[in-house]
Amino acid sequence: MFQRTPSSVDLRGNKPTDPDWAASLQPGWQRERRQNFNAIVIGEAFDVDLVNDAWTEIFRDLKTMAPIGEKQDTSAEGEFMAEVADFRKMNRIRARVDEVVADEDTAEALKPWYRQFCKRPTFNDEYLDAFNRPNVTLVDTSASHGVERITEHAVVANGVEYEVDCIIFATGFEIGTAPRRRIDFDIHGVGGQSLFDYWDQGVRTLHGHSTRGFPNWFFVGIGQNGLSVNMTSMFDEQARHVAWIINEVRRRGATAVQPTEDGEAAWVAEIRRLGITTNAFIESCTPGYYNSEGLFDKTVGTLAGEAYAPGANAFNAMLAVWRDAGDLEGLELIK
């Protein structure tokens, strides 16, 4: 197994679902749980943890550190407490590596030395145990920044050629890089303008779902909207909102819709104004896709810098207010 940067691997804790618990669930339980989860993992105050898993454990730890009956007064104190809770959590994850992995050198290479949310955490009950098998070898490529090349019969890393029968690319999906790099086709709007040229100084949208000059083109994703680590719930909320807009545009007798120039500009400015609060943390992380491999750009933004900083729940609530207003502020209808 060729590894560039070790992942944070916590217990997933898989177990059979209790049928009695499942039968007790009431309509709306899923939405309630995912909203609770979204709130907890961005650090909002909570009374109950409905998910109660390894994702939310760090924030349960943070709650136990607050003086009983007292509220933290300063953001500096809150940030310090969060860092201590994070350190405790990551120490437990590193200690688990030592407990499970027999070979000391392998264990050391598997330890993640960064704050938990500098990279996406992972959860698996069998991963670490696999390195105790006689047919599993870890090749640490951190010094050479990954696999050097692949030949007809081998993988070359750290100057060593490892002959293999089969290669499984477990690289995940590419995210946070330039859209032109990730999308294998161009998108043209009014007058033949390329979307990627329009976005050459950063993503420009209204509420993350549409761009001026590209009428009737809607998209869901992670740019300039309410980012959540629970991406399926995030995409569900975005799709519901886009469907509402399409229905409303048709109901009003229009054939097309796009953001107004002022509406788009105001939203981009708001995203980048709010994003300042997350920049310091992202910059301090080890290189990864959250901070463009360490080449953080405050003008164009990164994966985290182009998200709606208050989080998915706040974003969805804002859109609900926007829909209730009924004036489609920031959108231009074309008949």
Q: Which range (147-156, 233-242, 293-302) has the least confidence?
A: 293-302
Q: 138 pLDDT exceeds 80?
A: yes
- In this structure, are 222 and 271 located in the same domain? yes
Strand positions, DSSP E, 39-85: none
Q: Record the pTM.
A: 0.81
The C-alpha R_g of the chain, in whole angstroms, comes to: 23
Q: Which range marks the domain in which residue 26 is found?
A: 2-140
In a domain, 186, yes or no: yes
What is the reported pLDDT for 299? 43
What is the reported pLDDT for 41? 84
Q: 73 pLDDT exceeds 70?
A: no
What is the reported pLDDT for 6? 93
Q: Note whether 226 and 315 are within 8 A (CB).
A: yes
Which of these three, 114, 140, 166, is where a domain ends?
140
What is the reported pLDDT for 66? 46
Confidence class of residue 9 from pLDDT cuts 50, 70 and 90?
very high
> Concatenated DSSP letters for 179-197?
HHHH-SS--B-GGG-BHHH
Confidence class of residue 175 from pLDDT cuts 50, 70 and 90?
low
CA gap 8, 95 in Å, rounded: 12
- In this structure, are 197 and 300 located in the same domain? yes
What is the pLDDT averaged over residues 253-259? 97
Torsion angle, CA of 278/284/290/291, rounded to 10 degrees?
Answer: 100
Strand 9-10, strand 160-163: pairing: unpaired
- Report the CATH number that the domain containing residue 317 is assigned in CATH: 3.50.50.60
CA gap 316, 308 in Å, rounded: 10
Strand 160-163, strand 154-157: pairing: antiparallel
- In this structure, are 197 and 285 located in the same domain? yes
Domain total for the chain? 2
pLDDT one-digit tens code per residue, 115-136:
888 888 899 999 999 999 999 9
| Mean pLDDT of the residues in the chain | 87
Give CA 74 to chain center in angstroms. Answer: 27
What is the pLDDT averaged over residues 260-285? 84
